Amino acid sequence: MSDHYQKLSQQLKLEVWPSVYLFKFIMPNDSDLIRKVIQNFDKDAIVTSSSSKTAKYIAISIKQMMMNSDIVIEKYKQISKLKGVISL
């Protein structure tokens, strides 16, 4: 596990699980890429988005009930495989 994921894992271990977790991503405003990100989450996840001033980029926030911190880390790892997506 990289240092980034280890640090996040340590922070998440302090939370009470299960809990609603807020994922945030920035990516090019590409409908296929947006769809791929959203497909990694349950249908009942709450998705909100905001475009940049020029609409070249989009910020996506996704709230979903997560059972534990390990699942949160796995979601971030899945999304990190998508080119152009930045996790916040």
Per residue in 20-59, pLDDT (tens digit) is 999 999 999 999 999 999 999 999 999 999 999 999 999 9
Are 74 and 65 spatial neighbours (Cβ–Cβ below 8 Å)?
no
Residue 11 in tokens: 């922070």
pLDDT band at 4 (very low <50, low <70, confident <90, very high): confident
Q: What are the structural domains of the chain?
A: 3-87 (3.30.70.260)
**DSSP-derived secondary structure for 35-73:** HHHHTTS-TT-EEEEEE-TTSSEEEEEEEEEES-HHHHH
pLDDT at 1: 60
Distance of CA 77 to the CA centre of its chain: 9
pLDDT at 16: 96
Are 31 and 60 spatial neighbours (Cβ–Cβ below 8 Å)?
no
pLDDT at 72: 98
> pTM for the complete prediction?
0.91
Q: What is the mean pLDDT of the chain?
A: 96
